[in-house]
């Protein structure tokens, strides 16, 4: 009855490839190196329950009522607290609290992009952003990734050829899916090019505080140098408190925030005020700083375990990135290997990954895959890589 009634978008919707994988990768026995689900042992459940209880006793009118559609004071304070540690100091008027950074990507595209408009992005990039851009029928231009961020020559070539760009979507720190970090020099140069060619930047920074070595100066957001309000910055509590909290934010000039606000009123009205309160409690008590320091250690060890296992088990001809933070390693198999085709064998061997082409604006990266070291224990990661390496070895032999 419904099939003839769908809108163009409704008829052409494609679910997230990653979400589809969840069903399989959640099977018992499967070691999931697929989804970007944070390590659950680290979730601060006691601190959250304590914060909820305190807030609900003191101020139920605020915490259970409708919140402001742009956010509540708690949310603004919590977002400012995280940003200030990264060199970004913006007033509350330049912040909107959202239900995940996914919502910021949706808002940015809704408010700036008409059908056929061009968005630039790293290739590969976050699958959830690609899905949004495609839903709005944007023209997607991927710029190839190098070890230290996008290929600037390629970018300048495109811009010099006269393409008109609405915005560039970037994940400068511990990028999803490659784990790579854009050098400070490249960040400055990208901002210069944005000025020169008059485009905006959507800077997505969910993992920015989860460095393994170094410190905040190595992962300073582009937004920190943005004097003209050209950068829309987004980050989230999903990876530093818990994804279930559904609290993220964007920082942008107040005129843009006003547009986001009007659009979001028609989408989901407001974000949960109680969860904004919890985020602020955990920030202002100092708990979150210590917690993030612990998370850095946990994820650094898990990454190390994965890298050591890859080194030990993967056959020649396979290469991978070495992240300085975040959740992901990007594995590249010899040209011609199809990781989509290989996925069935991997799942048969009880190990899951995400296929590379899911992250590519033009469905390239067919011989690549994303591994995440965030979710499983160290021993499961080691075992998972061993299983995967066996699958890869078999595949490479059979294709010889």
315 sits near its own copies (criterion: CB under 8 A): no
> Where are the extended beta strands (E) located within 133-251?
139-146, 149-150, 165-170, 200-204, 231-236, 248-251
5 sits near its own copies (criterion: CB under 8 A): yes
Selected from 144, 157, 214, 255, the binder of its own copies by CB under 8 A is 255
75 sits near its own copies (criterion: CB under 8 A): no
Applying the rule CB under 8 A, the residues between 6 and 25 that interact with its own copies are: 6-10, 13-16, 19
> Where are the extended beta strands (E) located within 13-58?
31-32
> Where are the extended beta strands (E) located within 294-344?
319-320, 328-332
Give the pair of three-digit tokens for residue 318: 């396979």
230 sits near its own copies (criterion: CB under 8 A): yes
Rounded Cα distance between 182 and 180, Å, is: 7
363 sits near its own copies (criterion: CB under 8 A): no
Closest distance of CB 294 from its own copies, Å: 16
DSSP 333: -
Rounded Cα distance between 278 and 274, Å, is: 6
Rounded Cα distance between 209 and 79, Å, is: 13
38 sits near its own copies (criterion: CB under 8 A): yes
Instruction: Give the β-pairing of 231-236 and 31-32.
Output: unpaired
Closest distance of CB 271 from its own copies, Å: 7
CB environment 246-259: b (16+ within 10 A), e (fewer):
bbbbbbbbbebbeb
Selected from 81, 263, 340, 380, the binder of its own copies by CB under 8 A is 263
Selected from 245, 295, 318, 351, the binder of its own copies by CB under 8 A is 245
Closest distance of CB 311 from its own copies, Å: 30
Selected from 28, 61, 316, 335, the binder of its own copies by CB under 8 A is 61
Applying the rule CB under 8 A, the residues between 126 and 155 that interact with its own copies are: 128, 131-132, 135
Give the pair of three-digit tokens for residue 379: 């021993």
259 sits near its own copies (criterion: CB under 8 A): yes
Closest distance of CB 174 from its own copies, Å: 19
Element (H, E) at 386: helix 378-398
CA neighbours closer than 13 Å in the CB half-sphere of residue 120: 28
Give the ranges where 314-354 is alpha helix by DSSP (H): 339-348
Per-residue interface string for the shown chain with its own copies, residues 166-205, x marking contact by CB under 8 A: x---------------------------------x-----
Give the pair of three-digit tokens for residue 297: 């250690």
Nearest to 74 by CA among 216, 285, 363, 242: 285
Closest distance of CB 288 from its own copies, Å: 14
Closest distance of CB 266 from its own copies, Å: 5
100 sits near its own copies (criterion: CB under 8 A): yes
377 sits near its own copies (criterion: CB under 8 A): no
Closest distance of CB 327 from its own copies, Å: 13
Q: Are 358 and 14 in contact (CB under 8 A)?
A: no
Give the pair of three-digit tokens for residue 206: 């969910």
Number of amino acids touching its own copies (CB under 8 A): 80
Nearest CB to its own copies, comparing residues 130 and 145: 130
Selected from 31, 32, 33, 67, the binder of its own copies by CB under 8 A is 67
243 sits near its own copies (criterion: CB under 8 A): yes
**Which SS3 state, helix, strand or coil, does residue 154 take?**
helix
Closest distance of CB 391 from its own copies, Å: 26
Nearest CB to its own copies, comparing residues 18 and 389: 18
Nearest to 246 by CA among 207, 220, 275: 275
221 sits near its own copies (criterion: CB under 8 A): no
Nearest to 392 by CA among 318, 312, 319, 320: 318
Closest distance of CB 228 from its own copies, Å: 7
88 sits near its own copies (criterion: CB under 8 A): no
Closest distance of CB 5 from its own copies, Å: 6
């Amino acid at each position: 009855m419904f099939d003839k009634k769908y809108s163009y978008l409704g008829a052409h919707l494609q679910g997230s490839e990653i979400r589809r994988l969840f069903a399989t990768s959640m099977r018992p026995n499967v070691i999931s190196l697929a989804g970007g689900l944070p390590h659950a042992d680290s979730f601060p459940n006691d601190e959250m329950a304590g914060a909820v209880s305190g807030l609900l006793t003191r101020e139920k009118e605020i915490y259970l009522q409708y919140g402001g559609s742009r956010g509540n004071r708690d949310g603004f304070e919590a977002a400012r607290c995280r940003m200030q540690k990264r060199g970004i100091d913006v007033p509350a008027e330049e912040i909107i609290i959202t239900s995940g950074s996914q919502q910021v990507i949706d808002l940015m595209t809704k408010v700036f992009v008409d059908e056929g408009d061009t968005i630039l992005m790293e290739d590969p990039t976050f699958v959830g952003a690609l899905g949004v851009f495609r839903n709005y029928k944007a023209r997607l231009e991927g710029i190839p990734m190098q070890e230290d961020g996008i290929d600037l020559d390629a970018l300048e070539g495109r811009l010099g050829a006269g393409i008109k760009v609405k915005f560039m979507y970037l994940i400068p720190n511990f990028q999803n899916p490659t784990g790579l970090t854009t050098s400070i020099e490249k960040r400055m140069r990208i901002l210069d090019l944005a000025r020169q060619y008059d485009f905006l930047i959507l800077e997505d920074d969910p993992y920015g505080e989860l460095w393994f070595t170094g410190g905040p100066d190595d992962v300073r957001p582009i937004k920190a140098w943005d004097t003209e309000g050209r950068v829309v910055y987004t980050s989230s509590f999903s990876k530093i408190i818990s994804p279930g909290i559904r609290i993220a934010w964007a920082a942008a000039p107040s005129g843009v925030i006003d547009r986001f606000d009007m659009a979001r009123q028609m989408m989901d009205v407001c974000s949960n005020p109680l969860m904004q309160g919890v985020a602020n409690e955990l920030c202002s008590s100092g708990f979150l700083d210590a917690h993030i320091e612990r998370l850095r250690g946990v994820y650094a060890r898990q990454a190390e375990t994965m890298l050591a296992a890859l080194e030990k088990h993967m056959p020649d001809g396979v290469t991978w990135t070495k992240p300085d933070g975040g959740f992901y390693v990007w594995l590249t198999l010899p040209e011609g290997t199809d990781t989509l085709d290989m996925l069935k064998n991997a799942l048969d061997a009880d190990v899951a990954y995400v296929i590379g082409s899911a992250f590519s604006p033009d469905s390239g990266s067919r011989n690549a895959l994303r591994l995440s070291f965030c979710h499983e224990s160290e021993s499961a990661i080691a075992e998972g890589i061993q299983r995967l390496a066996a699958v890869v070895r078999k595949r490479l032999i059979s294709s010889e």
